[in-house]
Amino acid sequence: MSLTGPYDPDNIFAKILRGEVPAVTVWQDKHVLAFMDVFPQSEGHVLVISKTSQARNLLEVEPRDLARVTAAVQRTARAVERALSPEGISVMQLNGQAGGQTVFHLHFHIIPRWADRPVKGHGHAPMAELETLQALAERIAAALD
Ligand code: 5GP
């Protein structure tokens, strides 16, 4: 997938938004959804997406939708910090296949970091247990402003 082209309404995040594929929600409102990455690169890896925008990447998104998503990223990252006490947080956002993007619905990764725990490679992390993700999501949600 290049940086330009049509939005695929059958991408996995579109299916999650339509309720066709399950996801472990951290929080949502009418504009955004924060949910656990099912192949977490570290404990507490959260994804944040727009519910309304059909932008595939950062280049396509309307500024108003981007503002909502980035505000949601900050709110979620703050909750991750309070809930899990990471030493650092990596916020990652990939564009185009050559940029490492694998799901073509704009999203931001929130990846908690600890100095003594190597982060798993993007696209190389094993699938997490649902119960583990659910417990993490509840801890993060409980720490939201
Ligand atoms: P990208 O490679 O596009 O930046 O990131 C896509 C992310 O979506 C990856 O980190 C991947 O683990 C995650 N992912 C892929 N399929 C699913 C899924 O079905 N459910 C959830 N929750 N995450 C997914």
| Residue 101, ligand 1, Cβ within 6 A | yes
Average the pLDDT over 124-145 and give the result.
Answer: 98
Please state the length of the chain: 145
Residue-averaged pLDDT of the chain: 97
Amino acid 117: pLDDT: 96
Question: Among all chains, which residue has been given the structure tokens 């990652």?
Answer: 92
Domain range annotation of the chain = 12-142
Q: What is the CATH number of domain 12-142?
A: 3.30.428.10
Mutate to test the pocket of ligand 1, among 12, 25, 104 (most ligand atoms within 8 A of CB): 12
23 lines ligand 1 (CB under 6 A): yes
Catalytic residue among 107, 109, 122, 124: 107
Q: What is the pLDDT of residues 76-93, one digit of tens each?
A: 999 999 999 999 999 999
pTM, two decimals, is: 0.98
Instruction: Decide if 105 is catalytic.
Output: no
H or E stretch at 74: helix 63-84
